[in-house]
């Protein structure tokens, strides 16, 4: 089987550790174990025997995940995965077949886009529009979804724009999905990174055929744990778990244990408050920087450590990213890698001084180019 190249991940993988400044990262700068666990808990880790653990995730961690969604449901509604990337992979592999048709939000993190097309699934893209506040046009959505549609795929909060879907659009998605008996797949890995500090509405359990995937890599600043989850009906979770047997079998026993500690309500809120404060501070720096640069127009995000910027230049977004990377050692992501040309994505979740120094280089690059 021949898979399409995942351009965003391939370019990040090749260069994120080679450049001086990596602003292609979409999460908040990682926390240390010493910052999230007490001394007693750190000592407990040293005495842990390295079991395989529960292949579907420990009961403790699955309960913590359910608590996030404030649902009085069963542990059988949750599967712990190796990051949200595996959760997305399982959703596609278990619910879709070659020849099926899905409606896919763009711009987006194009993992599912490339995977689905590689498997012979027809992907009908539906853009969220900047003039609508990076929302779907209701009429366009109604026209595109049909009885042939097997799944509506969204990313909320959105990557790369940081937009949060309006309630009326969410309600419409749910209604249309029920009318056409299709799945809703919502990638919600950025939920918890809202700049106002109030977690946005989740699609979780909105219909019997709704899947929500998330994890600890972005809002929680813990990408190295590789902990994600998928929530949905018991029937879906059981099928995903069966496929999970063929992938990673189970997540790291230590990662599961740490995640169950940090998702305790009080500690979880403390981490997310840190995220909110850090992102608001750094976003102000990015805004102030962009005021003096007419060729860059920052689109205001509502969540996540990313901002989508329109580039008013006579070069493609990929040319811009490559030129900046090769000559000034700063890495961004190209809008074309998210499904929308004419933009670049800035990650601003790294330490403040790091962001400032990187932006200084970008400004030097633009000045020397005369743009």
- Asked whether residue 138 is assigned to any structural domain, the reply reads yes
CA 199 to chain centre: 15
Q: 275: domain range? A: 7-32+268-369
239/293 same-domain check? no
Q: Exposure pattern of 9-46 as b/e (b: 16+ CB <10 Å)?
A: bebbeebeeebebbbbbbbbbbbeeeebbeeeeeeeee
The pair of three-digit structure tokens given for residue 67, joined into one six-digit string:
């608590």
264, 291, 323: which is the final residue of a domain? 264
- Asked whether residue 161 is assigned to any structural domain, the reply reads yes
243, 264, 285: which is the final residue of a domain? 264
- CATH code of the domain containing 153: 3.40.640.10
DSSP strand pairing (21-22 vs 330-331) = parallel
pLDDT for residue 115: 97
Which pLDDT tens digits describe the chain residue by residue (371 residues)?
A: 789 999 999 999 999 999 999 999 999 999 999 999 999 999 999 999 999 999 999 999 999 999 999 777 899 999 999 999 999 999 999 999 999 999 999 999 999 999 999 999 999 999 999 999 999 999 999 999 999 999 999 999 999 999 999 999 999 999 999 999 999 999 999 999 999 999 999 999 999 999 999 999 999 999 999 999 999 999 999 999 999 999 999 999 999 999 999 999 999 999 999 999 999 999 999 999 999 899 999 999 999 999 999 999 899 999 999 999 999 999 999 999 999 999 999 999 999 999 999 999 999 999 988 77
The model carries a pTM of: 0.96
324/220 same-domain check? no
Q: Tell me, what DSSP letter sits at residue 214?
A: E
- Asked whether residue 69 is assigned to any structural domain, the reply reads yes
164/282 same-domain check? no
pLDDT for residue 207: 97
- CATH code of the domain containing 345: 3.90.1150.10
- Asked whether residue 1 is assigned to any structural domain, the reply reads no
353/295 same-domain check? yes
Number of structural domains the chain divides into: 2
Helix (H, G, I), strand (E, B) or coil at 233: coil
44/11 same-domain check? no
114/159 same-domain check? yes
240/125 same-domain check? yes
d(Cα 209, Cα 232) in Å, to the nearest integer? 7
247/343 same-domain check? no
- Asked whether residue 217 is assigned to any structural domain, the reply reads yes
pLDDT for residue 208: 97
Is-contact 173 152, C-beta < 8 A?
A: yes
pLDDT for residue 72: 78
The pair of three-digit structure tokens given for residue 71, joined into one six-digit string:
């649902």
286/181 same-domain check? no
């Amino acid at each position: 089987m021949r898979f399409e190249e995942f351009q965003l991940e391939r370019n990040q993988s090749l260069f994120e550790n080679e450049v001086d400044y990596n602003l292609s990262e979409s999460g908040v700068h990682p926390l240390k174990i010493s910052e999230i666990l007490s001394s007693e808990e750190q000592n407990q880790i040293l005495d842990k025997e390295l079991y395989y653990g529960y292949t579907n995730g420990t009961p403790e961690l699955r309960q913590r995940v359910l608590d996030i969604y404030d649902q009085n449901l069963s542990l059988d509604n949750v599967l712990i995965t190796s990051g949200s990337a595996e959760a997305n992979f399982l959703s596609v592999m278990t619910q879709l077949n070659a020849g099926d048709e899905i409606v896919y939000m763009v711009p987006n993190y194009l993992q599912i886009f490339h995977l689905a097309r590689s498997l012979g699934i027809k992907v009908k893209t539906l853009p969220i529009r900047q003039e609508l506040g990076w929302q779907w046009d209701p009429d366009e959505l109604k026209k595109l979804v049909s009885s042939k549609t097997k799944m509506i795929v969204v990313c909320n909060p959105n990557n790369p724009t940081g937009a949060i879907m309006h309630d009326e659009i969410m309600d419409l998605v749910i209604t249309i999905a029920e009318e056409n008996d299709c799945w809703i797949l919502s990638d919600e890995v950025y939920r918890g990174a809202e700049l106002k500090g109030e977690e946005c509405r989740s699609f979780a359990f909105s219909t019997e055929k709704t899947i929500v995937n998330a994890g600890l890599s972005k809002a929680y600043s813990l990408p190295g744990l590789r902990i994600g989850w998928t929530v949905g009906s018991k029937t879906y979770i059981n099928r995903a778990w069966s496929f999970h047997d063929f992938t990673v079998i189970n997540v790291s026993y230590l990662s599961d244990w740490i995640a169950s500690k940090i998702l305790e309500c009080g500690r979880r809120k403390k981490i997310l408050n840190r995220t909110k404060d850090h992102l608001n501070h750094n976003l102000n720096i990015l805004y102030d920087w962009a005021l003096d640069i007419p060729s860059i127009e920052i689109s205001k995000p509502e969540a996540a450590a990313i901002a989508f910027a329109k580039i008013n230049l006579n070069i493609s977004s990929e040319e811009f990213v490559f030129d900046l990377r090769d000559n000034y050692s700063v890495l961004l992501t190209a809008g074309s890698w998210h499904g929308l040309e004419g933009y670049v994505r800035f990650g601003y979740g790294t330490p403040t001084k790091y962001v400032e120094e990187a932006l200084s280089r970008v400004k030097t690059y633009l000045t020397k180019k005369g743009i």
